[in-house]
Amino acid sequence: MSTQALPRRTRFRARATAGLTALLLPLAAMVGLASPAQAATSATATYTKASDWGSGFEGRWTVKNTGTTTLSSWTVEWDFPSGTSVTSAWDATVTSSGTHWTAKNVGWNGTLAPGASVSFGFNGTGTGSPTGCKLNGGSCDGGPTVPGDTAPSAPGTPAASDITDTSVKLTWTAATDDKGVKNYDVLRDGAKVATVTGLTYTDTALTAGTDYSYSVQARDTADQTGPVSGARAVRTTGGGTDPGPGPGAKVNLGYFTNWGVYGRNYHVKNLVTSGSAQKITHINYAFGNVQNGKCTIGDAYADYDKAYTADQSVDGKADTWDQPLRGNFNQLRKLKAQYPHIKVLWSFGGWTWSGGFGQAVQNPAAFAQSCYDLVEDPRWADVFDGIDLDWEYPNACGLTCDTSGPASFKNMMQAMRAKFGANNLVTAAVTADASSGGKIDAADYGGAAPYYDWLNVMTYDFFGAWAAKGPTAPHSPLTSYPGIPQAGFNSAEAIAKFKAKGVPSTKLLLGIGFYGRGWTGVTQKEPGGTATGPAQGTYEQGIEDYKVLKNSCPANGTVAGTAYAHCGTNWWSYDTPATVTSKMGWAKNQGLGGAFFWEFSGDTANGELVSAISNGLK
């Protein structure tokens, strides 16, 4: 059985479902709805669709007190057409009765002073828009004095210029409104710092070497505010220098998994505390999904909604409930501000989510457009420097089998390059099955070479305890060796085959696994022994992080350029700093573009393996 078709990533796939910050409750639980007289003429509620990813969307309501007395509570009601519904919500308690939806403030955000506003959001399904809006029982547009008055549109994402140690100049394009725009609120890290009538503002008294996020919100002549613009990350000058790799450094790329923030408790800040951030060159953020012919969000909560406390945050600053962007995306933005050399790519697919590629490549241009629209969403466009396509596997079998033909990969990469252009990175993670007639032979990787920047060759998971009885074998052999269970299943032959198919050496990265694979019931120390099943792992049988194995079962042998360990009746294979160093030497001799690894959380707290890759590639 081809081990390149086995679930190397399912061990991380369990996601927490407790990330939603509000639950849908029965309508009967709602009490104390306001009467029309309470606030009908002194408050407004405006709606915007913040994002749409095909299979769902994010909606956002903003309630503003336009009166002269404080509101003590608010309730927004609306109707959705049949087929459109709320699936989760935050910063409000949302209920439904048929197609009628009601949102009520939570305990901490019900009080609104004159001129104050508050927003709440939700994820939904369907394509409909809200109608029949009521705020505290009255009109959402503030009453009969401004009937039908719509809120302004979002201004353009501000541009930053003239950045100094203590100031930055911001400029933006105008919002539109049916009655006219009166002025603009300038938001720094989600808090209003100024209101101006023009399209520019210079913020002063800032701190040197510090990260800030700016956005803008328009207000119309009725004092209604529209949706917030996209955010612009700014780092003031001074305050230290980026210690990252110098010019011309080989690629040292690591995968960061969005689900790692749950059970693994691994966050972007760990890249800083481990010392890895200054040594890597690129991050692949995994994963976005591929559904219905489109790139879609993988985990909305982890990606852009999870609120980080000060101690969890890259810059030591806590997220606020109303800031435009939270979650991993905002943490990556902060990381890039401190380490400007790092480039971040959004990786789509992976073992579990590769089933959608076959449908997507039936219309490569439409697929590329959907991916571009998501990666370049104004809320996080500055976070990402390109896209990585992790299709397991084109015209071959992984978790599912694809029959899209040998040209499908080339067609996909050509469309992606055409859409993303020369200034964005376009890469792919690919099989390392170099067997005759195997997965490398199934697709035109050489023909696609003009369109991608590099391939991440997954030179790991060749062998593992899915073959429960063995024979035991290293999961990431650099070369073949006597007794290897499958010809063509090693790194050297995979790299050689890609070169033979016309892929330049500099467009190939060698893959390193930050974990081991193992069996139990093994009596033989050397490879080739029999087993009774997979060894026990922390998250899944047959697999364990390097940071655990280095202490629980230290390596006591090497084969084919990688390490193995026989401890009691367990047999594990994994890479160590020593074997990684030797593999990097081999990669340099082959003229490869560098290396990549799966994934950060398997390394030690001080980044031993990342350091070995970095030092080995110098």
200 burial level (CB within 10 Å; 0-12, 13-18, 19+): middle
- The answer to whether 392 is a known catalytic residue is yes
Q: Is 391:401 a contact under the CB 8 Å cutoff?
A: no
Catalytic annotation, pick one of 58, 77, 376, 392: 392
What is the helix (H) or strand (E) element at residue 370, kind and residue range?
helix 364-375
Kindly write down the DSSP assignment for every residue of 226-261, as one continuous string. Answer: ------EEEE-S-S-------TTPPEEEEEEEGGGG
Tell how strand 515-520 and strand 543-545 pair up: antiparallel
Torsion angle, alpha carbons of 614, 616, 617, 618, to 10: 90
Q: Is 478:495 a contact under the CB 8 Å cutoff?
A: no
Whole-angstrom CA distances from 581 to 474, 494, 610 are 17, 19, 10
Provide the residue type at 352 as one letter: T
The span from the CA of 325 to the CA of 133, in Å, is 26
455-465 burial code (b ≥16 CB/10 A, e <16): bbbbbbbbbbb
Cis status of the peptide bond prior to 81, with omega within 30 of 0: no
φ and ψ at residue 462, rounded to 5 degrees? -70, -40
What is the helix (H) or strand (E) element at residue 182, kind and residue range?
strand 181-188
- Tell me which residues are annotated as active site: 392
